[in-house]
Amino acid sequence: MHKLEDKIKIHEGPKTSAQKISLFCPYVSPRVADTLKQVLETRWIGQGPRVERVEDIFRFQFKAPHAIALNSCTSALHLALILSGVKARDEVITTPLTCYATVAPILYQRARPVFADIQPETLNIDPESIEKKITKRTRAILIVHWAGMPCDMDEIKALAWERGIPVIADAAHALGASYRGRLIGGISPFTCFSFQAIKQITSGDGGMLTTLSAKHAARARLLRWYGIDRDFKGDIYKKFQVRELGYKYHMNDLTAAMLRVQLEELPAILERRRQIVQRYQQALKDVDGLELFYEPEDRESAHWLFNILVDRRKDFQSRLVQFGVETSLVHIRCDTYPILGGKRRKLPGMDLVEPRYLALPLHNHLSDEDVEYIIRIIRQGW
């Protein structure tokens, strides 16, 4: 019996210095092709039984009471905002350090994003800053588990609970992460996951919304298909009595079948990413001009990104690109987008790290030789 790590071939290589080492590289199980072929030979390729099955698997795997499969994490965030009661002119507190996809659904609701500051030591949203940003218009708090490291959930939940404000977690980076022994997915009232191409696992695209409420789950299932109850089997005229504007946000059986295979291999995928991160941390902790981020002992990251703080970032990136190693900020601060009103003042944590944060390659096609090569180039200086 081969180990799962062997079956999924998660480190191929080595590469030569002449080859580019990419920041991201999608991992797709070799078993996916046969699985998709089986689906294509059935009458179900849209939303069918495999969607319901993968929802059940996800609920069980991540200890979430309810899971709703969708076509993207952005769709999950939008539905979570609707279920939280966010409407025009409401305020939603969120982080400036995230993908625009986190913030765009706030605009879909004609609400106003309010940016709280981040913790320079983790890059996650700062609970103290959240508290300062709360007003009578605050309808939700939308956090992001940046790079896969869970936020300070107890502190955030406490200040939200006493004010009756729902917490929505963007866990696009955090599939498989845990906070104080609990998996991300069953902690926040709403948690949104991504299976986009370069996440820990991918189904090409796709998302999942988990919720603690059966009532919210039922409404989400209606809203993901135009507001139509697809489970209703009676009179067709009654079936199409749409009472609330819905969307085309559902997952299909092809995506669900691929996702199921990828979920089975997630433990081995995460373990390999942990190995790479541990090697980076060990080898780079004493490099001049480079700082590593704090990782609280009471939580486990899903390691989507490996971030560092680096002096003379442009020089650092130029040096690595000369040797075929790709690096990136991945996302710039959202408050600089013109559509969001321009750079906010009084975000000292964000201002502090903005010129220095950077991500190194981290994916399941990196070989041990690739990692050592990257380390060696960095340790030579820039």
**For 184, phi and psi rounded to 5 degrees?**
-65, 130
Decide if pLDDT at 1 tops 70.
no
User: What tokens were used for 288?
Assistant: 């001049």
- Count of domains forming the chain: 2
Task: Return the H-helix or E-strand segment holding 220.
Answer: helix 214-223
Say which CATH number the domain at 47 has: 3.40.640.10
Residues 112 and 192 in one domain: yes
Peptide bond into 150 cis (omega under 30): no
- pLDDT mean over 107-126: 98
Decide if pLDDT at 14 tops 80.
no
User: What tokens were used for 122?
Assistant: 């983790």
pLDDT, position 233:
80
- Cβ-contact 69, 256 below 8 angstroms: yes
| Residue 193 β-bridge partners | 208
**Measured distance CA(148)–CA(145) in Å, rounded:** 6
Q: Which of 177, 208, 164 lies closest to 68, judged by CA?
A: 208
| Residue 69 β-bridge partners | 208
In angstroms, what CA-CA distances link 355 with 36, 110, 194, 289, 338?
44, 31, 28, 13, 20
- pLDDT mean over 217-234: 91
**Measured distance CA(193)–CA(108) in Å, rounded:** 19
Hey, what amino acid is at 72?
S
- pLDDT mean over 55-67: 97
Domain of residue 313: give its range.
4-27+265-379
| Residue 167 β-bridge partners | 141
- Cβ-contact 185, 210 below 8 angstroms: yes
Average pLDDT, the chain: 94
Largest Cα separation within the chain, whole Å, is 73
**Measured distance CA(92)–CA(70) in Å, rounded:** 22
Domain boundary among 242, 260, 278: 260
- pLDDT mean over 304-316: 98
Domain boundary among 260, 293, 324: 260
What tens digit of pLDDT does each residue of 142-195 get? 999 999 999 999 999 999 999 999 999 999 999 999 999 999 999 999 999 999
More confident position, 8 or 248 = 248
User: What tokens were used for 222?
Assistant: 């209606």
For residue 233, count other CB atoms closer than 10 A to its CB.
8
pLDDT, position 369:
97
Decide if pLDDT at 321 tops 90.
yes
More confident position, 11 or 121 = 121
Q: E-assigned strands of 71-172?
A: 91-94, 112-115, 138-144, 167-170
Residues 70 and 176 in one domain: yes
Decide if pLDDT at 7 tops 80.
no
Give the pLDDT band of residue 229 (cuts 50, 70, 90).
Answer: confident
**What does pTM read for this prediction?**
0.93
**Cα distance from N-terminal residue to C-terminal residue, the chain:** 46
Decide if pLDDT at 11 tops 80.
no
Residues 135 and 248 in one domain: yes
Residues 228 and 327 in one domain: no
Q: Which of 243, 223, 221 lies closest to 231, judged by CA?
A: 221
Residues 15 and 123 in one domain: no
For residue 341, count other CB atoms closer than 10 A to its CB.
12
Residues 125 and 240 in one domain: yes
Say which CATH number the domain at 308 has: 3.90.1150.10
**Measured distance CA(365)–CA(24) in Å, rounded:** 9
Residues 306 and 348 in one domain: yes
Residues 18 and 88 in one domain: no
- Cβ-contact 94, 125 below 8 angstroms: yes
pLDDT, position 18:
52
Residues 54 and 97 in one domain: yes
In angstroms, what CA-CA distances link 11 with 8, 94, 144, 273, 371?
9, 36, 29, 10, 11
For residue 346, count other CB atoms closer than 10 A to its CB.
10
Decide if pLDDT at 88 tops 50.
yes
Residues 252 and 173 in one domain: yes
Residues 184 and 299 in one domain: no
Domain boundary among 239, 260, 281: 260
What tens digit of pLDDT does each residue of 238-289 get? 788 889 999 999 999 999 999 999 999 999 999 999 999 999 999 999 999 9
Q: Which of 208, 140, 178, 201 lies closest to 298, judged by CA?
A: 178
User: What tokens were used for 305?
Assistant: 């990104």
Decide if pLDDT at 222 tops 50.
yes
pLDDT-above-70 percentage for the chain = 95
Give the pLDDT band of residue 8 (cuts 50, 70, 90).
Answer: very low
Q: Which of 211, 206, 155 lies closest to 188, judged by CA?
A: 211
Decide if pLDDT at 5 tops 80.
no
User: What tokens were used for 162?
Assistant: 């006493």
Residues 286 and 244 in one domain: no
